[in-house]
Structure 1
Amino acid sequence: MKNVTIVAAGKSAAIYIDTKGKDYKGLKLVANSFAEDVNLVTGITPAVVPDMEELKETVVIAGSIGNNEIIDSLIAKGKIDVYSIKDKRECYKTQVVEKPIEGVDTAIVVVGSDKRGTIYGIYRISELIGVSPWVYFADVMPAKKSELIFSDKELNITSKEPSVKYRGFFLNDEWPSLGSWVTNAFGDFNEEFYDKVFQLILRLKGNFMWPAMWSAVFSENGKSYPLANAELADAYGIVMGTSHHEPMFRAGEEWKNINGQYSTNPIWDFSSNANSITKFWEDGLKRNKGLESLITIGMRGEQDSALKGSEEENIELLKDIIRTQKRLLKEQGLEDVPQVLTIYKEVEKYWYGTDNAEGLRTWDVLDDVTIMLADDNFANVRTLPEEAERNRKAGWGMYYHFDYHGGPRSYEWVNTTPLEKVWEQMTMAYDYGVRDIWIVNTGDLKPNEFPVSYFLDLAYDFETWGVNGRNKTKEYTKKWTMQQFGNAVDEDVLDGIESILIGYTKMSGCRKPEVTFADTYSYINYNEAQRVMEKAIDLENKSKKYYDEMPEVYKDAYYQLVYYPAAASANIVKMQIYAGLNNLYYKRNSALTNLYAELVEECKVKDIEMQAYYNDNMSNGKWKGMMSSPHIGYMEWSPDSWTYPEVFKISLKDGSAMIVDVQGTEEAYCYGTAVLPAFTNLGKESYSIIISNGGNTEFDYKIETSADWIKLNSKQGTISDGIKINVLIDWNKVSETSSGFIIISGTGKTVKVNVTAEVIDITGLPDMTFVEAHDVVSIEAEHIVDKAQKSNVEWKVLKNYGRTLSSMKMFPTTVSFEKAEDAPYLEYRLRVNEDAEFTLTTYVAPTNNLTKKSRLKYAVAFDDEKPTIADALPKDFIAGDYNNDIWCNAVLENIHITTTIHKLDKGMHTLRFYGLDAGLVLQKLVLSKGKLPNSFFGPEESFSIEKTY
């Protein structure tokens, strides 16, 4: 093993790029970027040397095959074998070579199969020296070192070919946040800004981009000259495209700005203004024709709207448009340049056609066009290729979303997409043949850094993170955490940061902050609001703890990558729950009304202060304006409707009045259940009695219990506003169903609270039996007693996926079944307490039908009964249509909920759940007598015998 020195004793190895290479311009940019990385770590800036005569001692030589004289000579002499990367896309090989040329002792040779491969190889060394891809866009500072010395084992590597051909992101919905920051920092969306963006994409091993377009014109906004942005992208090797409604190199804003050059008719309507629009497109092609691009074809209405005709008229109009575009491409010699048509929103209707008009799906004019499908704007794919279509020559793409501006509600603030969801949906897209383009709408880019990294790593190395990536999102999160903070803190803190990233994305993935309200979580049923609030407070506290422990130089990076998205999201949850409690106690005229009003106000202040710190103080004010998006209380799709929660205050009169409620309700009743022989708690472990004051005078309270098995944390005291009394049951003193009561007295008032302790004997029940309590059996999907594989399709666990514990999904994801008896099933064991009619409530992920005619069916059967077939998608379900309330509710609540009815006898039962349609993801099953009480998550999981899974 040989050690190779890049920096030592105040000297650095030089970097050589061949000036005669066709890739010189781009490699020079990246070589300079790499030199800055070395300087950031060591304080020494390597020289970028264009003349090989100046090379000596140790050097870095970078270039692609056929574009670097030294590298080509090493290949010819057999010193470097490039067989494994030659003629492949975007591959590189890094190798230590002794005496590559006269005067040079050692070279680190980075040879690429093409320009992008070489660039990835250079930036791989940047990562090796400790520079994160987020060095600029999240201020992740590398550890300072005086020497950079690596073994040849660390340096010698041959890369894989990327899994997905085009991989990138879309800067969209960029006002007010990204747009404010860009104009503050750079003046406009110009080449100085995009230089930073292009480097980020390449560091993340992406190669494709849709630029910001709300107010910008990418190919005209150059600072030094109009086309500077586009030409810089070409130099870097970034393949540029335009969004789904910006055809032929033309930005959406361009027509608005310059349509007067083409006609007195300003209407963006091909049916009435074809000549002007055609000339407009022709000029776009002439302007950008020499630059590497993916050309968007097709047309949508003005300002991202639908075409105005009937479906049949729009299909024929769209065909006419595409014929015109194809003619223009041929006239400009661009007929062989990659083209893409995006099947987004209403265009999906034109793709499939109607009974009276054949759609674009079978139109041979599109045989050489990549068809880009889309999710439903909430990260659930909505159309995937059927089996006969998956291998089409020009392939398939996917337009995915981490950000969305539109109905039913916008979400443009912080990351709300768990990695588990990205894995589940995008691996399914890949299984269906979507492997040519992956692009994600990342909004303002910040603060979506975490999922952007994952999305591009998944697209680049699908073998590791996709095919073999089930239940690896935790591993990825730890890897990403170490990349950003591994040099700053110890293993325990890294584990803590990992848990925060997982925790806040789980929380916000269940219900986005923009649509969390005072009544989202139940204050009465299942102690739900309290449980959610405790998790939010824990997230907030842990985030702050690790911020305080972070070395000063890493605090800014931690604040923007971890602390802000976690703590600010948790603060919104707290604010809304406090508002709900304020409303609850206002109706009861309790002094606690004012306490919770104050807590809401504290959360408001914190929200404003955290946003201001991000904009004005973090990183010495570098990110001014970046955190400007409204993010709370959306009442309609437009963020203009946002509002902080309404709170109430009461005027406390002289005197006092005792107000008592139990667990958020005025019902004076507590209950608990335990099971023999272990007296293990089942259902509620404790209930809370809230005693509060309805006046402004303190009073003494006293509590007496009727049985020694009723335990309280307080028996007397003084009330000024409110106090919580926890009611616990001493199960060692309860041997059968027992009833008791609590007497609470104060201010001349006496309240009686009934308490019931129920004991169930489970002696002899088999393992994995879930036991009914309080009329409910609730089972998390992964807690099976058995499962059966059919036709090589089997159910597998997706850890941490979904709103509660985890999920179960069928693999492979491309197979459906007509009959329940032919389908793979999951088996559960449970016991009910009496003969009754039960409702089985099924919770599945908010997956859409994967093809136009498919559904999301399943079947359930108890014991030997005939399976009951149900559909998680109601008949009138339309994915992605914000006028469709069924779909809207599914994406806002992140769940599909369906019910079936079953008559069961008292005793043991086996429940089988059959998966019929591909894509179905089961999360939870709840058996209940009658309708479940209102709540967001439903009942917590029931007790089961020896949970050993």
Structure 2
Amino acid sequence: MRLLLAIATLLVTSTLASTVLACQTQASVCTSRTAGSFALIDAGKPAAVIIDATADPALRHAADNFAADLGRVGGTAAPRPVAVSAGAHPVIIGVAGHSPLIDGMIQAGKLDVQDMPGQWEAFRQVVVEQPLPGVARALAIVGADRRGAVFGTYDLSAKIGVSPWYWFADVPVARQENVFITAGWHADAPKVKYRGFFINDEDPAFNTWARQRFGGINAQMYAHVFELLLRLKGNYLWPAMWPPKAFNDDDPQNMVLADAMGVVMGTSHHEPMTRAHDEWHRNTDHGVTGGAWNYESNADNLRRFWRGGIERMMSKGDSHGYESLVTLGMRGDGDEAMAEGTATRLLENIVADQRRIIAEVTGKPAERTPQVWALYKEVQDYYDHGMRVPDDVTLLFADDNWGQIRRLPTTDLERAGGFGVYYHFDYVGAPRNYKWLNTTQIEKTWQQMDLAYARGARALWIVNVGDIKPMEFPLSFFMDQAWNPEAMTADAVARYPEQWARASFGPAHAKAIGELVTRYSQYAARRKPELIHPGSFMISDQHGEVLNGMEFGQMVQEWAALQREMVAIRNRMPAHQHPAYVQLVEHPIAAMSNLYQLYYAVAWNRRLAAANDARANIFADRAEAAFARDQALTDAYHRMLDGKWDGMMAQVHIGYTNWQQPATQVMPAVRRVEDKGAARPVVFASAFEPSMEGVVAIEAPDYSRAVNGSGLRWQAIAHLGRTRGSVLALPQGRAPTTQQDNVRLEYDITIEHAGDMSVQLHLSPTLDTTGRGSQRIGVSVNDGPMQVLVDKLLPSPTATTLEEQRDWNRAVEDNVRVLQAVFPDTPAGTHTLKVWRLDDNVVLSKVVAATRPIPLLYLGPPATR
């Protein structure tokens, strides 16, 4: 029974369910006929797909796509009749209360959806017996509103084997001659109201691709983006906006199509009142050439500009307008901070004026138009210093641009507008851009967003995905978690990679591919590729030193091993799966492995050249070959599928010297040495662990004992962090505990030499989200007193001192935070090291102890397999 419940409630995309269990679950997909089942595809022939003639356009788009999906699975597109004929076995899609077909079944007592009215985006899939005269059986997909019907339709598409990424990553669809829906009903609804992503930093990759394939970032292109969003069960989009782009102005059909498909449009955190920032500089309707983006000196023109945005939103010709979530507030010109010392009173006046414009243009109270205020970077400071906006406005908190949420609600949890989170998989800014490849661990995303949900951020989740590709894996996870955070448990996270791989490539290699993407994500998250350079990690021989806990060669070997496994799996896969495999698995692994080889060769070249060792020349050749191979990998990606994705991997990623990317790829400098004799053979240093005699290093999940209490339990999260995994206390969002609450982990350790024992706690970086400015964790030895370690990690731009900025930079660069305690005069022998849970959102990854000096960041060897 527990397994059946897990299958029924786990809200992740899955491949066609053909197991006996699926055939026993109500309204589930089965490949064999069962009592009372509905034939969705019977001997290759699909059921007809029908909507009312008066149905919302969003249902028409979804129904058309679903009919095509049935063709992808069964071989023939489903017919789309305008009415139900006698003898038919139709799929009927509609909104309760707005569909004559659905309402007729309700009134006839054939369909019970009395609990649906008023639910947000809820849907129900029901096999209905004798729904209409002359019709023996139908499948009704009923929405509480238009998007509920859309999501109910795309939910079924995913269950019959059509991936949301069928177009955007060319995931193939497995053919099935027979597909049935078992008798009964299935209902679902989202737990987070607005769920979506932000296309950002889209030059050169996304923009180049869109221009070459569609002639620009226009409605023809956005049709695919909107469909992807909806298939992922998202409803909200911040469009590509970096100059000179403007969603509503560049192609007026963009907003028309978005609304017609059911997408709620927004604008990014620094673009108020539905206006793209570039529109201000186009000087189309605000009356002044070169007008200052300054409310104190140019308020009249800014108000005129913003009014134009709301008037355009209402130009649909009805009382509702184009469905939007309106961003309020104001940042500096070009997504910069406003002038130092700007008073919160000024921003409060700005918001009040913006809401007055909304009310005047819409002709209804401002609170009837959904609005959001993004507390991004310095704007959060205004909130912390007391600025408030009306209760109906959603407050959107943000992470530090590197995956650590900065703030979550502590009071006013019942505010009408609720709270949300703006998260990042892509970023331009200090300490360095990261835009090229996916470097996000879903385990980290889960931990942070699970905390956000527990703390009441349930109105809006949006993630910056850069170019969309190659963020397919973490974006799928983010959207699945957003749909139902309660179902995405720690165990569900552990199962997710394999299930995602199964949905993309079928069962044959799902486990192996799931392990590949998990290890890739963990390796890539250790340090963003844009931050890697020849000096990032020390190279060592048996007499060398190790910095950052891992020898460079060891990491190169890990990447090489991962690449070999990736190639071995590809060689066993059918050819029709190769394009999707390249995009989702092969290219990221091959490109990252090659990048490590490049910088490793440069590091050896420079070390040997400094010693006038002619072997430096061999490494110079290898470095140049790797640099050329990087371009070859990009070119191969762009040639794939007759150039369908040409330009999408054009992001510059080699040659950074500061936070901003170089204009073009730059080969790292290498030096050749005159060869005055036979060069010694090149022998790569093997993976080398420095002499750490007397140092005890324990992975956090390898505790000796876990003591739970106060409603909390310890949970190991595999792969979270740099090595084996991490441990945290669940459920998250709970109040601080004390030593008396007795929530602790115990590690039995043996110290060989007496002395002052240093203990390092290695943490996955997190930030205090309560406004206190610090987080605490306790550590003690045996029955001795507890030392409280205080983590005062502050995000940029909150960090005000050089030391604080260095601490944050190091934490996000190395993806680890280290706290240390010293226990004087510790005798040799066996001891029990106790780690105490004090504050929430503290994630323990490793424990290191010794009575000799420990390197500042001793991470030990990476996880082995």
| Counterparts of 2:446 and 2:794, CA distance in 1 | 28
Residues 1:498 and 2:514 are matched in the alignment: yes
What's the offset of the Cα at 1:193?
Answer: 1.1
Letter in 2 for 1:350: Y
| Counterparts of 2:686 and 2:575, CA distance in 1 | 42
Letter in 2 for 1:218: F
366, 391, 397: which one aligns with 1:373: 397
| Counterparts of 2:130 and 2:702, CA distance in 1 | 62
What's the offset of the Cα at 1:800?
Answer: 1.5
Residues 1:382 and 2:406 are matched in the alignment: yes
Residues 1:102 and 2:124 are matched in the alignment: no
What's the offset of the Cα at 1:876?
Answer: 9.8
Residues 1:470 and 2:490 are matched in the alignment: yes
| Counterparts of 1:98 and 1:726, CA distance in 2 | 69
174, 199, 208: which one aligns with 2:202: 174
Larger deviation: 189-198 or 909-918?
A: 909-918
Letter in 1 for 2:644: K
| Counterparts of 1:405 and 1:125, CA distance in 2 | 38
| Counterparts of 2:126 and 2:741, CA distance in 1 | 54
1:779-835 deviation digits (Å, cap 9, x = unpaired): 111222223334333432222211111111122333454754445222111121222
Per the alignment, do residues 588 and 243 of structure 1 end up closer, same or farther by CA in structure 2, a change over 3 Å counting? same
833, 839, 856: which one aligns with 2:758: 839
| Counterparts of 2:290 and 2:529, CA distance in 1 | 43
| Aligned residue in 2 for 1:661 | none
| Aligned residue in 2 for 1:887 | 808
| Aligned residue in 1 for 2:465 | 442
| Counterparts of 2:111 and 2:795, CA distance in 1 | 62
Residues 1:398 and 2:421 are matched in the alignment: yes
What's the offset of the Cα at 1:102?
Answer: 3.2
Structure with more relative contact order (C-alpha pairs < 8 Å, separation 6 or more): 2
- Secondary structure (helix, strand or coil) at the match of 1:220 reads helix
| Aligned residue in 2 for 1:629 | 651
| Aligned residue in 1 for 2:682 | 722
Contact 1:418 1:506 in 2 (8 A): yes
Which residues in structure 2 correspond to 1:542-691 (within 5 Å)?
542-615=565-638, 617-640=639-662, 643-654=666-677
Per the alignment, do residues 325 and 597 of structure 1 end up closer, same or farther by CA in structure 2, a change over 3 Å counting? same
| Aligned residue in 1 for 2:226 | 198
What's the offset of the Cα at 1:196?
Answer: 0.9
| Counterparts of 2:580 and 2:772, CA distance in 1 | 47
What's the offset of the Cα at 1:165?
Answer: 0.6
What's the offset of the Cα at 1:595?
Answer: 2.5
| Counterparts of 1:812 and 1:882, CA distance in 2 | 34
Contact 1:208 1:238 in 2 (8 A): yes
| Counterparts of 2:550 and 2:614, CA distance in 1 | 22
1:49-91 deviation digits (Å, cap 9, x = unpaired): 2234x56522221111022212111111111111343331212
Letter in 2 for 1:849: D
| Counterparts of 1:250 and 1:55, CA distance in 2 | 51
Contact 1:862 1:912 in 2 (8 A): yes
| Counterparts of 1:942 and 1:839, CA distance in 2 | 24
What's the offset of the Cα at 1:602?
Answer: 2.5
768, 783, 794: which one aligns with 1:849: 768
| Aligned residue in 2 for 1:791 | 710
1:80-137 deviation digits (Å, cap 9, x = unpaired): 1113433312122222234432343432221111111111122223223321110110
Per the alignment, do residues 245 and 575 of structure 1 end up closer, same or farther by CA in structure 2, a change over 3 Å counting? same
Per the alignment, do residues 880 and 60 of structure 1 end up closer, same or farther by CA in structure 2, a change over 3 Å counting? farther
| Aligned residue in 2 for 1:152 | 182
| Counterparts of 1:220 and 1:212, CA distance in 2 | 12
Residues 1:233 and 2:155 are matched in the alignment: no
Percent identical: 35
| Aligned residue in 1 for 2:193 | 165
Per the alignment, do residues 874 and 379 of structure 1 end up closer, same or farther by CA in structure 2, a change over 3 Å counting? closer
268, 271, 276: which one aligns with 1:251: 276
Letter in 1 for 2:103: D
TM-score (norm 2): 0.89
Contact 1:778 1:941 in 2 (8 A): no
What's the offset of the Cα at 1:942?
Answer: 13
TM-score (norm 1): 0.81
- Secondary structure (helix, strand or coil) at the match of 1:412 reads coil
Contact 1:129 1:148 in 2 (8 A): no
| Aligned residue in 2 for 1:285 | 310
| Aligned residue in 2 for 1:764 | none
Larger deviation: 238-247 or 94-103?
A: 94-103
| Counterparts of 2:260 and 2:687, CA distance in 1 | 70
1:455-485 deviation digits (Å, cap 9, x = unpaired): 01001022211xxx11432311111101111
| Aligned residue in 1 for 2:376 | 344
Per the alignment, do residues 620 and 157 of structure 1 end up closer, same or farther by CA in structure 2, a change over 3 Å counting? farther
50, 59, 81: which one aligns with 1:16: 50
| Aligned residue in 2 for 1:183 | 211
Residues 1:317 and 2:342 are matched in the alignment: no
| Counterparts of 1:258 and 1:543, CA distance in 2 | 52
- Secondary structure (helix, strand or coil) at the match of 1:415 reads coil
Letter in 2 for 1:18: D
Per the alignment, do residues 367 and 787 of structure 1 end up closer, same or farther by CA in structure 2, a change over 3 Å counting? same
Letter in 1 for 2:232: L
Q: Name stretches of at least 5 consecutive residues in structure 1 with no aligned partner.
A: 354-358, 655-694, 697-719, 729-755, 757-771, 944-949
Q: Which has the larger radius of gyration?
A: 1
Per the alignment, do residues 823 and 635 of structure 1 end up closer, same or farther by CA in structure 2, a change over 3 Å counting? farther
Contact 1:55 1:103 in 2 (8 A): yes
Larger deviation: 27-36 or 815-824?
A: 815-824
Aligned residues: 808
| Counterparts of 1:40 and 1:796, CA distance in 2 | 42
| Aligned residue in 2 for 1:77 | 108
What's the offset of the Cα at 1:875?
Answer: 8.3
Per the alignment, do residues 206 and 585 of structure 1 end up closer, same or farther by CA in structure 2, a change over 3 Å counting? same
Residues 1:32 and 2:32 are matched in the alignment: no
499, 505, 512: which one aligns with 1:485: 505
1:654-698 deviation digits (Å, cap 9, x = unpaired): 3xxxxxxxxxxxxxxxxxxxxxxxxxxxxxxxxxxxxxxxx34xx
1:220-244 deviation digits (Å, cap 9, x = unpaired): 222xxx2x11121112111111111
Per the alignment, do residues 877 and 348 of structure 1 end up closer, same or farther by CA in structure 2, a change over 3 Å counting? closer
| Aligned residue in 2 for 1:220 | 249
Q: Which has the higher strand share?
A: 1
What's the offset of the Cα at 1:8?
Answer: 4.6
Larger deviation: 896-905 or 205-214?
A: 896-905
| Counterparts of 1:245 and 1:408, CA distance in 2 | 21
| Counterparts of 1:152 and 1:309, CA distance in 2 | 63
| Counterparts of 2:438 and 2:464, CA distance in 1 | 12
Larger deviation: 159-168 or 593-602?
A: 593-602
1:18-39 deviation digits (Å, cap 9, x = unpaired): 1123x2x111111111222223
| Aligned residue in 2 for 1:910 | 832
Q: Name stretches of at least 5 consecutive residues in structure 2 with no aligned partner.
A: 1-34, 315-320, 541-545
Larger deviation: 799-808 or 41-50?
A: 41-50
| Counterparts of 1:203 and 1:304, CA distance in 2 | 31
Per the alignment, do residues 725 and 27 of structure 1 end up closer, same or farther by CA in structure 2, a change over 3 Å counting? closer
Contact 1:408 1:882 in 2 (8 A): no
- Secondary structure (helix, strand or coil) at the match of 2:197 reads strand
| Counterparts of 2:58 and 2:412, CA distance in 1 | 37
Per the alignment, do residues 819 and 29 of structure 1 end up closer, same or farther by CA in structure 2, a change over 3 Å counting? closer
